[in-house]
Amino acid sequence: MSGSLPETRRVWTVATAPGIFPFVGHGITLFRNPLPFLNSVSSYGDLVEIRLGPQRAWLVCHPELVHRVLMDARTFDKGGPQYDRLRPLMGNGLVTCAHEDHRRQRKLIQPAFHAARIADCARVMGEEAESVLGAWRPGERVDVSGAMLALTTRVTSRFLLSDALDAATVAELRDCLAALVRGLFVRTVVPLAPLFRLPTPANRRYRRAFDRLHAIVDSVIDERRRGRPRDDLLGSLLEAERGHGGAAVTGREIHDQLITLLLTGVESTAMCLGSLFALLPRHPEAERRLHAEVDEVLAEGRPPGQEELTRLVYTRGVVTETLRVYPPGWLFTRTTTKETDLAGVRLPRGTTVLYSPYVLHHDPASFPDPDRFLPERWLPGQSAAVRNGALLPFAAGSRKCVGDAFAMAEATLAVATVARRWRLRPLPGHVEQPRPAATLGPRALEMICESRSQTPPGKPPSQASGTPDKDGAQPFGSPPEVVRIPPGTTTRSPQEFPANGTVTSSPRNRRREGDKHVGGA
Ligand code: HEM
C-alpha cells in the first residue's frame, strides 16, 4: 500500500504539545480522547513531543519522517514497556520480537502468505462469508460486530490450522480473542501491573480468556503432532521444528506464532468490516456503485473467489477508503536502540517514538478533504496519496503487516458477499462510535438487514431522509424509510456517524506558527 518515498523535505517543524499536566503529562488526555488529541498535536509540527507521565515521547507526523522510522527497524526497534506488557500474552512472536530475531521469524512465516496461497484461500473466504450470512433474515436486527468477528475467526483459523477446530471451538476462540483484545489496550497503556492481578470481574474474564486461548492452541499443536501432516501454516512451522526448511524453531515459538497470528489476524479485519458497514448507509452514491459492481461480478448461487476478487475494483476502493478513515491499527510505538537524529532532533537511546496511521490519514496535505469518505480516491489512476506514502494502514518496511494481502482479499470478498444480498441500515437513534482501544472500530454495532432482492427496481433503498451533501451522503438521525424493528429494540441518542461519515471531525489546522522551532535534517 505504501509507495517509495523520495527524500524531498530538508526543513522540519518540531514542537512540544501544549497542555502538559503535572505528573501525568498528556497521559490522561491521550487515554480519554485519543483521536482528537493526536490530530490536534500533529498540527504543531512534523515531529511533536508529548509527555506520557514522566516519560517523553515523540509523535512523528509527516509521512516522510514516518517512513524513515519504519525503514530503519534496527534503530527504531520494537521494545520498551509497551512490548514488555504484550509479551505475557503473545510471547516472543512476529509482532513483539526485536529486530535481531525478526528476519529469521519473518522468513518462517512469510511463505504462508504468498499470493498463490491467498488465491487458494479466496474460495474459503467467500464460502465462510456465505455461511455467516446464511443465518440473517430480512428485517432482522443483526449483531454486525459479532458476525464480522465470527467470520474473520473462521477464515483465519482455516488458513492457519485447516479444519483442526470444530465450530464450537471456533466460537469459543472468537470470544477469547475479543475479551483479550479488549483487555490488552488498558494493560499496555496503564503501567500498574498489580492492578491487573486484582480479582475484579474484568480481570477474571481476561484471565479465563487468556488460559483458554493458550489451552486451545496447545491442544491443536499436540493433536497435529500425533496426526497426519497438513499443508497449512501450522504444518510449515512443525516442518521447521523438525529441521526442514533451514529455520530452527522451538515448540514454544510455534505456540507464540499461532497466538500472535490469531490475535492480529482476527480483530483488525473484523474492525475494518464493522467500520465499513457503519459508513456505507451514510453514502448512498458509494453504496449504489458498490451494489452495481457486485451485481455484475458475483455469480448467483456460487460464493465468490479469486476470479471475482480481481474484478471487484470499486469494492476494494471502499475497503481501502475505510482503512484510511478508520485504520484499525491507529497508534504504534518504537524505541531507539542508539542515539539518532530525526528531523534535526537528537534522540537519545531508549527514546519512545510514536506513529499513527490515523493522524497521517487525516492530514489534508496528503488527502484533500480528509474527513470525506470517498472510495473514488482509490480507483485506478487516482491514487496520488499512494505515491506520497501517506496511506499506511498496514505500515511499511520490514515490520509491515504480514497479512496485508490476506486481509484485503478477505475484507473485499466479505463486503461483496454481504452487498450482493443485503443492505444494512442503522438502528434509528443508535449510537456506536468506532472506539480506539488496541484497535479502532465499532465494537457493538447492530444494524437492520434488508434484503436487496425485496427492493423493487427503481425504488430507492430505505435510508435516513434529509438533503444529501455533495457526495450524496445523507445526514444522520432520521429513521430509515422501511425498517421492521423487532419489539424490544432500545433507542439511544443520535448520532453514530455524522453526515459526512466520519466520527471525529477535527480538521487539521495548518501547522501552527509560534509553538515550534525548525530543525534541519
Ligand atoms: C485490516 C486488517 C489488518 C490491519 C489494518 C493490519 C495492520 C497492521 C499494522 C499497521 C502492522 C504494523 C504494526 C507496527 O508497525 O508495529 C501489522 C503487523 C502485523 N500484522 Fe497486521 N493488519 C491486519 C490484518 C492482519 C492479518 C489478517 C494478519 C495475519 C493473519 C496480520 C498479522 C500481522 C503480523 C504478524 C504483524 C507483525 C509483522 C512483523 O512485525 O513482521 N495482520 N498489521
Q: How far is the CA of 345 from the centre of ligand 1 (A)?
A: 29
- Predicted ipTM? 0.99
Measure the CA–CA gap between 240 and 428, rounded to whole angstroms: 53
SS3 content of the chain, % helix, strand, coil (to 5): 50, 10, 40
Q: Tell me the C-alpha distance between 454 and 272, whole Å.
A: 27
- Cis preceding linkage at 495, omega within 30: yes
Q: Are 431 and 494 in contact (CB under 8 A)?
A: yes
The alpha carbon of 403 and the centre of ligand 1 are apart by a number of angstroms equal to: 6
> Cell numbers at residue 336, please?
531507539
What pLDDT, on a 0 to 100 scale, did the predictor assign at position 497? Answer: 28
What's the pLDDT at 465? 35
Q: How far is CA 261 from the centre of its chain?
A: 14
Task: Tell me which residues have their CB closer than 6 angstroms to ligand 1.
Answer: 94-95, 106, 156, 260-261, 264-265, 268-269, 272, 327-329, 332, 393-395, 399, 401-403, 406-407
In the reported structure, the alpha carbon of residue 405 is separated from the centroid of ligand 1 by a whole-number distance in angstroms of 10
This model's pTM is above 0.90: no
Residue pair 3/386 in contact by the 8 Å Cβ criterion:
yes
Output the pLDDT for position 9: 55
- Whether the Cβ atoms of residue 492 and residue 474 lie closer than 8 Å to each other: no
| Closest ligand 1 atom, residue 323 Cα | 5
- Residue whose Cα lies nearest atom 37 of ligand 1: it is 95
Q: Which are the contacts of 163, defined by CB distance < 8 A and separation ≥ 6?
A: none
The per-residue pLDDT for 453 is 81
Task: Give domain 11-520's CATH superfamily.
Answer: Cytochrome P450 (1.10.630.10)
Report the atom number in ligand 1 closest to the C-alpha of 97. Answer: 40
Find the 95 Cα to ligand 1 centroid distance in Å.
Answer: 8
Cα–Cα distance for residue pair 279/500, rounded to 1 Å: 9
Which residue from 264, 273, 359, 361 has its CB within 8 A of the most atoms of ligand 1, so it is best to mutate? 264
Nearest CA to ligand 1 atom 39: 399
Provide the grid cell at 33: 480522547
d(CA 94, CA 108): 10
| Residue-level pLDDT at 192 | 77
214 contacts: CB under 8 Å, gap ≥ 6: 255, 259
What's the rounded Cα separation, in Å, for the pair 273 and 501? Answer: 15
Write a three-state SS string for 293-345: HHHHHCCCCCCCCHHHHHHCHHHHHHHHHHHHHCCCCCCEEEEECCCEEECCE
* Average confidence (pLDDT) per 10 residues, the chain, 521 residues: 52 92 83 90 95 89 97 96 90 96 95 95 94 92 96 96 94 95 83 86 95 97 94 94 76 97 96 97 96 94 92 98 97 97 97 97 93 94 74 97 98 97 91 83 94 59 42 34 29 27 35 41 33
19: three-class secondary structure by DSSP:
coil
How far CA 211 is from CA of 154, 203, 501, in Å, comes to: 20, 12, 39
